[in-house]
Structure 1
Amino acid sequence: MRLWFISILFIKTICASPIPIVLWHGMGDTCCMSFSLGSFKIFLENQIPGVYVISLRIGNSTVEDFENGYFMNPNRQVDYVCKQLASDPKLSSGFNAIGFSQGCQFLRAVVQRCGDRLTIKNYISLGGQHQGVYGLPHCGALQHETCDYIRKLLNYAAYNSWVQSSLVQATYWHDPLNEDNYKQSSIFLAEINNEKSVNKTYIQNLNKLDNFVLVKFDNDTIVQPRETEWFGFYAPGQDKKMMTLQQSMLYKEDRLGLKKMDKAGKLKFLSTPGDHLHFSEEWFIKNIIKPYLTS
């Protein structure tokens, strides 16, 4: 009888263990320093006692991690992370994932490409650039003509093969004035968005998620356009009029299965006041931790 009682307690303890969490930081940040994502890891551990949290480090040191956010091909980064997560026995029963800024589209690629090896339950995207970027940080402080001139210079270089392979940010630069060049030359974003061809495995793996949560920062001055954080973007052929996800061909043709997820209630659109990645602990606890990380 006593052995049976101890076994029941052990089973209850295992069942009650919180679901692990994987974090992927953004550009200019690192995994583990106290002034960067390391402090957020501690915050989660305090809010969810006993939770196992991995803040991904891309490389052998925080210096390499920082540099790789600019110079390591995202496709190599995704492969690196897939192997790391698949080899961790603590993640074998599944985990939740949170991406920060450019880490959002990279972590989504992990979901799509490695969903057969990994069990990812809820994926939270904080300020991700899922339709890419076409602009400059704080560009509103400059004259419009200057912004357009620099845009054109970057756009000219962004789709050169050597730039695509060596500069991370070029791989999600999206020129709405030349959609064909973007789709043909983008080695990362156009591919994971199924804009080159439709990879049905990407659709299947993305739809395995319990929830795909997209968080947009209403006063974002870093990401342009900020609507990309909800899969919105400029209508093709110009850079003024915006289209929502639901208005896009990506949604209408359901090239990623997002329409299916939306209809099933799996696709969540949240917003919060503030600049890029600026949110309060109270907001995060109420809108992310309680509904998606501890439920």
Structure 2
Amino acid sequence: MTASRPKALQTFCLLLPLLVWMVDRSLCYKPVIVVHGLFDSSANFKNLLQYINESHPGTNVTVLDLFDNKESLQPLWKQVQGFKEAIYPIMQNAGRDGVHLLCYSQGGLICRGLLQTMPDHNVDTFISLSSPQMGQYGDTDYLRYLFPTYVKSNLYRLCYTQMGQTFSICNFWNDPHHHGIYVNVSDFLAPLNSERPEPNATDWKKNFLRLRKMVLIGGPDDGVITPWESSHFGFYDENETVLEMKYQMVYQDDTFGLRSMDYRGAITVYGVPGVVHTMWHSNQTVFKNCIEKWLT
């Protein structure tokens, strides 16, 4: 019997990796938190949930059911606070392993608000899916529905008022022909970018840089995010010529940590043609090529 023990131990050691894999493959997958966009709800993300469950079985995925549909027009700082209260317990349960944030459209700005204002967040990877990170300036069906008497060139007259800033879309309306007014009036995007003196800027930058990775996804056929390069932190100059991320003041001055993240190789950018705005979270090719590998 004594001689058989080493052989049994050897067999056990050989089988142990297989046993661990069989017990719980999900141990290697971090929780995923999904934040929806304007006029969306958790019901819009059934395909995305299916893709994640098929590729990473057992992953804890939470699609937050807050500020749905018309409620998504609430001011963005109010939404940031609401989502923060819902997300914080998930982060705490994840502990040192951390979580991933997958945030679509307007939700990408809400997630930036979370990342910059939470000193103890444990977000590993932030996936910004067709989100107007540098703002919005363009006529879209959404705008015509919300403000039928206003078009691109005139919307600043409403958005850059105290009343206008009570609408989420006005919180990131960035008119390049009225930049000075935007900087002074914007309640959300301008302070988030530290485009004007912000007392919390140093802390917000430190919080943002807790991220390990940021993935930026967008494309030229989006049809809603205008310019579409805003999803990559590009934006118009005063002549409506798009300047890419590295030529933006927020990058060059590293106002909230964008350049620092880029310098450490922590930003990945995907430009995907042929995808309209409402299909980013339902397109399996986008998931396979741009999202799946980051959810480990």
Under a length normalisation based on structure 2, what TM-score does the superposition of the two structures give?
A: 0.83
Gaps of 5+ in 2: 1-12, 143-147
Q: Secondary structure at the match of 1:269?
A: strand
Q: What residue in structure 2 maps to residue 170 of structure 1?
A: 170
8 A Cα contact 2:31 2:99, kept in partner? yes
Deviation at 1:38, TM superposition (A): 3.2
Greater mean deviation of Cα atoms: 81-90 or 180-189 = 81-90
Q: 1:105 aligns with which of 103, 109, 112?
A: 109
**TM alignment of 1:20-169, pairs within 5 A:** 20-31=31-42, 33=43, 36-59=44-67, 65-70=68-73, 72-88=74-90, 89-92=92-95, 93-114=97-118, 116-137=119-140, 150-165=151-166, 167-169=167-169
Cα 1:55–1:15 change in 2 (3 A) is closer
Q: Secondary structure of 1:161's partner?
A: coil
Aligned positions, number: 272
- CA-to-aligned-CA distance 1:6-62 (integer Å, 9 cap, x gap): x9978995983410001111112111x2xx123322331222101001111215xxx
Partner secondary structure for residue 150 of structure 1:
coil
Structure 1 SS opposite 2:100: strand
**CA distance in structure 2 between the aligned counterparts of 1:97 and 1:44, rounded to whole angstroms:** 13
Give the aligned partner of residue 187 of structure 1: 187
**One-letter amino acid of the structure 1 residue matched with residue 55 of structure 2:** Q
Q: CA deviation at 1:161?
A: 0.4
Q: CA deviation at 1:277?
A: 4.8
Cα–Cα, structure 1 residues 76 and 283, in superposed 2: closer, same or farther, change >3 Å? closer
Tell me the distance in 2 between the aligned counterparts of 1:224 and 1:267. 21
Amino acid at match of 1:16: L
Q: Report how far residue 91 of structure 1 moved.
A: 3.3
Q: Which residue of 1 aligns with 2:228?
A: 226
User: What secondary structure, in the 3-state scheme, does the structure 1 residue paired with 2:38 have?
Assistant: coil
Say if 2:26 and 2:58, in contact at 8 Å, map to a contact too: no
Matched AA of 1:214: L
For residue 282 of structure 1, report the CA deviation from its aligned partner. Answer: 3.1
Q: Per the alignment, in what secondary structure is the counterpart of residue 214 of structure 1?
A: strand
Distance in 1 (alpha carbons) for counterparts of 2:133 and 2:207: 17
Letter of the 2:204 counterpart? Y
Q: Let me know the Cα RMSD of the aligned residues.
A: 2.9
2-side partners of 1:138 and 1:244: how far apart? 25
Residue pair 1:21, 1:51 contacting (<8 A) in 2 also: yes
The whole-number CA distance in structure 2 between the counterparts of 1:138 and 1:83 is: 32
How far off its partner does 1:253 sit? 0.8
The SS at the match of 1:201 is helix
Moved more, 255-264 or 268-277: 268-277
Rounded to whole Å, the distance in 2 between the matches of 1:227 and 1:10 is 44
For residues 88-127 of structure 1, what are the alpha-carbon distances to aligned partners after superposition, in whole Å with 9 as ceiling and x for unaligned? 353334100111111111111111111x232000001111
CA offset at residue 138 of structure 1? 6.2
Distance 1:270 1:201 in 2: 29
User: For residues 66 and 283 of structure 1, do their structure 2 counterparts lie closer, same or farther at Cα, with a shift above 3 Å needed?
Assistant: closer
- What amino acid is aligned across from residue 98 of structure 1 in structure 2? L
Query: Aligned partners of 2:292 and 2:192: how far apart in 1?
Result: 27
> What do residues 240-263 of structure 1 show as CA deviations (whole Å, max 9, x unaligned)?
222111112111111121111111
Task: Tell me which structure has the larger Cα radius of gyration.
Answer: 2
Cα distance between partner residues in 2 of 1:79 and 1:113: 10
Deviations 1:185-242 (A, max 9, x none): 111111111112250122112211111111121212111111111111111xx24222
* Structure 2 residue identity aligned to 1:160: T
Given that 1:17 and 1:50 are in contact with CA atoms closer than 8 Å, whether structure 2 keeps it comes out as no
Counterpart residue type for residue 23 of structure 1: V
Inter-partner Cα distance in structure 2 for 1:14 and 1:154: 51
In structure 2, what is the Cα distance between the partners aligned to 1:111 and 1:155? 28
Q: Secondary structure at the match of 2:177?
A: coil
Q: Report Cα offsets for 1:122-157 as digits up to 9, x if no partner.
A: 001111101111111169xxxxxxx9x722331101
Cα distance in 1, alignment partners of residues 60 and 278 from structure 2: 23
What SS does the corresponding residue of 1:151 show, helix, strand or coil? coil
In 2, distance between residues paired with 1:21 and 1:206?
18
